[in-house]
Amino acid sequence: GRRVSREPREKTQTVTPYSNEGTQVTVEIHPKNTTGQLIKKLSLGKGPQRLPSLRGQDNKGFQRTEAPQPPGGKDLHAYPWDKSSLKSMPVDLQQFEKLDAYALKVNVTNSVEELVKALLKQARTDLEKVRAIWMWICHHIEYDVVGYRDKSQLSSKPIDVLQTGKSICEGYAELFEHMCSIAGIQCMKLSGYSKGHGYKIGQTFTGDSDHAWNAVYLEGRWHLLDSTWGSGSVDDSLTKFTFRYNEFYFLTHPALFINNHFPDNSNWQLLKPTLTLRDFENNMLHKSNFYMLGLLSAQPEAAVIQTVNGKASVSVDCRAATLFMFKLKGTDEHGLMTLKKHGMKLDIYPQKTGSHKLQIFAKPSKASEAVYECVLEYVVECKTVDKAMRFPKDLHQPVGPSWFTERQGFLRPSHPEPVIHTNDGRCSVTFTLGKDISVLASLHCDNSSLTEDASRRHIMQIHRGNQIELKIHLPHAGNFVLKIYAKKKSDPGNYDYVFNYLITCLNTEAKWPAFPQRYSKWAEDYEILEPLSGLLPANRNVQFKLKMHGIAKVLVQAKNTYRLTQSRGYWEGTCNTSGCREVFVMVHENANHSFYSHVLKYEVETQ
């Protein structure tokens, strides 16, 4: 919401309370360094003659509203935020459900007094009165996008706001103040700078204030709220307003409110210590979604980040498991994001110098249908580019194992980090499987000539009880993505993608042939000890050692056929590769059967 008036910043604040005798008293509060013309201003003229009863049958007329006290020591909250509560006082939203529903249904627009009278029929305490007024305004007054442009059509008078059903922040705040005053609650309209519509990261604030909001006095303390922002939002072009209730701006904790509201009078920050305008300008803008999703803090705290050697890092802490994604200039290609139990970590490697917009999105882990909400925005200033950190296009965020992969059944990973570095082009990744799942893995690399099927043969799965090992032999140096999929063993359907690793190998000498081709009769708990290479040397005797169970006979078929013998759970023997292009391993599952099944196939080098 943008403020309209061009009043000087040091201005007086007028409060109009009512007493039960119907006398109107106007009191002015002046900043310390100005003196008011008290004699002229303190007028005891007759106010409204008959004031409506504003509570149930037990109401004895109005309570007297005392002149608002300026904030003092008891009103102040510690800064920075202590991460305890989003509100400045204990509020049980469930207890408000009936009152909220009632307030939404009240339909009075002929007079502010009648509206307040109707709203307060269900409100007993001051907190309930404020809540009823807040809910009604947030759901019935829309932001006036036309009036914002053409100020001549605009009135902020409470009765005009009520009857037109629209206004800008000034009108929201004046209506709120007026309704509280009728209800006998001390309330102030405050003004200042805001990081609202049109705010640019890192901008400075000068000149007149641009927004208005309120402070209310409840249970012996001042509290802050913003009914303009509680009611909804405008689109980027400021042509359309959408009602979208936002609980965050009701009695917001002052250490969070200062994130995007900077009052003209620093006492109304309600903070100890108070922030300077420079602090406000430099501080990171956390959107209300950030706190409503249970996120606690983000590093760095400055909104503009400089890369160091081509890299910038961001981390977020949160209470509960949360899913994150990011966009750097609209894409998630140039980063490595890892999920942590209480947050996430992101390393960014822009591939162009200059300024880049970085957005962080989040959603609760339990809400599969929920959409990702933008929670943070940074500007990343990049001076140099780290070309070595150009990631394969198949890399999917987040990278590496996390609480999310644990939920899918992948426990105790041998590599908890997202990147696996290998010098010789070989690595091995192990997990304990916490569920009865089948696993599928594939290897991807940009501009690789390998098909997906061929690249799968560079991964070998070995199962030992509930442990799984993925042996990887890279076909060449470079950056690879190891994608891991899973499905329930009882499921006939497709495998679901679970997560991926980045595997890097800089050694250009590394060149590994694929593992032998495995056929469907090769059971998942069988194991090849040798030969691991799917490409056998020509004209050589090759030693075989295989671990298989429940088998009656094993043959290796080259130009001739060789029998393997069983000893201590292993089938062993040799075969000669002369005169053949392929070598097959075959098994008899039953000694009485004459037919056998192919389980492995090797290629033989051409001479």
d(CA 119, CA 101): 11
- Say which of 226, 253, 318, 444 is annotated catalytic: 226
d(CA 84, CA 282): 24
d(CA 82, CA 532): 57
Instruction: Answer whether 381's CB lies under 8 Å from 350's CB.
Output: no
Three-state secondary structure along 200-230?
A: CCCCCCCCCCCEEEEEEEECCEEEEECHHHH
d(CA 22, CA 9): 33
- Say which of 77, 100, 139, 169 is annotated catalytic: 169
DSSP class of 231: H
Q: Active site includes 580?
A: no
Tracing tokens 């030693």 back to the chain, one arrives at: 543
Here the contacts of 198-201 (C-beta below 8 Å, separation 24 or greater) are 198/2, 198/238, 199/260, 199/285, 201/285, 201/303, 201/304, 201/377, 201/378, 201/379
Bond into 80 cis (ω within 30): yes
Q: Active site includes 169?
A: yes
Residue type (1 letter), 207: G
- Cα–Cα nearest to 580, from 605, 555, 563: 605
Q: Active site includes 226?
A: yes
- Say which of 139, 178, 211, 253 is annotated catalytic: 211
Sorted by sequence, the CB contacts under 8 Å of residue 322 that are 6+ apart come out as 293, 294, 295, 343, 344, 362, 363, 364, 365
Find the radius of gyration of the CA atoms of the chain.
35
The catalytic residue positions are 169, 211, 226
